[in-house]
Structure 1
């Protein structure tokens, strides 16, 4: 049996390789993930780069904010701090990631716009244009903690698929999602057991993709529940459970 749940590599296969790197994305693909989840920010000179933190010191040998560097300046840093055994890891462009996998016809892209801290002016239209230029709009899901941002994408193109990211604090999530006609919600995994949240969302026909789940027993439980997607740092474990191949849970 194969579960219907999709497995997304969280920032690629970030348990094993530098997060949000081309190496991590390729590894997630090779491990059998259905897609990858990754983050987009914008440089001082307007380039769309794939990186999670607004401040780069956790993942690189540099310091300071992404927004204060040009792309060429960021390329001078090594983005291998989470996995120093890897060498010559450069920050990728959104264009790079989509180009690498655009010919993989069933491979999915879950793009998080990281603009809930800094409002990157014009980022939404730039991201949308790149996705369209690469011909992968139908395989792309846009998400953000800044909900207004993904709603603006829907206004730009009614064919966009959008999702609200959230962790705590939202009330009446199914009604909220229906009100704004989003395709999916992306809750932290631990929220699904509260107030029958998952079943209320399913009844409302809202897709549910949960983050970030690395425990095998929990991945199996969520697959059994029928969540639409699981975002995990361990896409090898996730894909093994998805395919029901007797994964060792840990």
Structure 2
């Protein structure tokens, strides 16, 4: 079975993660899905940012949860990936609106909704957070705005927090859920606790190091979505396991490898 390729924070190996350009690149190269992390701003907006603070991706010590959307939009979330770009005389001049500000989840979902083919979005809520369950409530409210809180919608919600996923299940029982985990001792407990239709999302490093977990997942009837798969040998491990999605920083590379094994996808 050919797994879906999901672009981890967009085509984030080449382009700064969680920027609109990274997601446009991933969609343009044929990724079937996009992955994003969401956090809540001080004024209640869901934004696509992984870290709780902004030192790595925006060169400031501020916290996402203490800043308003307008403040975040004043920051540059793209330059850290290529800090020498301004010295490139042959580079095209950046537009005033070049997507360097923070990407809101609403903007990403609007982009996906307007695209000319179905793109699925895997949305990870980050915990712990000062806003607790408000993150999931705001997220479900937004999905309802798009009509994407029903079965068959092109979205799924992921989290390492079992409690967070339970909240989503109560708010919108038909939304697809993915229980993430990266500790082998968590799986024996999780497989007894999580919902019957939940997807499991193990980390590739754990799968490499713990063959017994791979065997257990292989015997389980659940769909498996693995992160973050960037190497050919790791893709082969996933194919042997029969996973249904691989989440990768290098979606084009993964698609090319899959084309050699399954033939080019249409």
| Residue 107 of structure 1: aligned partner | 119
Cα deviation digits, residues 10-45 of structure 1 (max 9, x gap): 100000111001000111111111111110000011
In structure 2, the residue corresponding to 1:7 is in which secondary structure?
Answer: strand
Counterparts of 2:134 and 2:258 in 1: how far apart (Å)?
38
**1:162 aligned residue:** 177
Q: Which residue of 102, 113, 119 maps to 1:91?
A: 102
TM-score, normalised by the number of residues in structure 2: 0.84
Structure 2: 5+ residue stretches without partners: 87-93
Query: 1:186-197 alignment to 2 at 5 Å?
Result: 186-193=201-208, 194-197=210-213
Answer with 61-70 or 44-53: which moved more: 61-70
- Which shifted more, 24-33 or 98-107? 98-107
Q: Which residue does the alignment assign to 2:16?
A: 18
**Residue deviations 1:160-211 (CA, integer Å, cap 9, x gap):** 111111111534x266234321511111112225243234224321111111
Structure 1 residue ranges without an equivalent (≥5): none
* Residue in structure 1 matched with residue 154 of structure 2 by the alignment: 139
**Residue 53 of structure 1, CA deviation:** 0.5
Alpha-carbon contact 1:40-1:112 (below 8 Å) kept: yes
Q: Distance in 1 between matches of 2:127 and 2:252?
A: 30
Rg comparison, structure with higher value: 2
Who is 1:184 aligned against?
199
Structure with higher helix content: 2
Question: Which residue pairs with 1:238 in the alignment?
Answer: 254
Of 196-205 and 21-30, deviating more is: 196-205
Rounded Cα–Cα distance in structure 2 between residues aligned with 1:183 and 1:14 = 27
- In structure 2, the residue corresponding to 1:150 is in which secondary structure? helix
Judged with a 3 Å threshold, the aligned counterparts in structure 2 of structure 1 residues 134 and 45 are, in CA distance, closer, same or farther, namely: same
Superposition RMSD on alpha carbons, in Å? 2.2
The alignment status of 1:153 with 2:148, answered yes or no, reads no
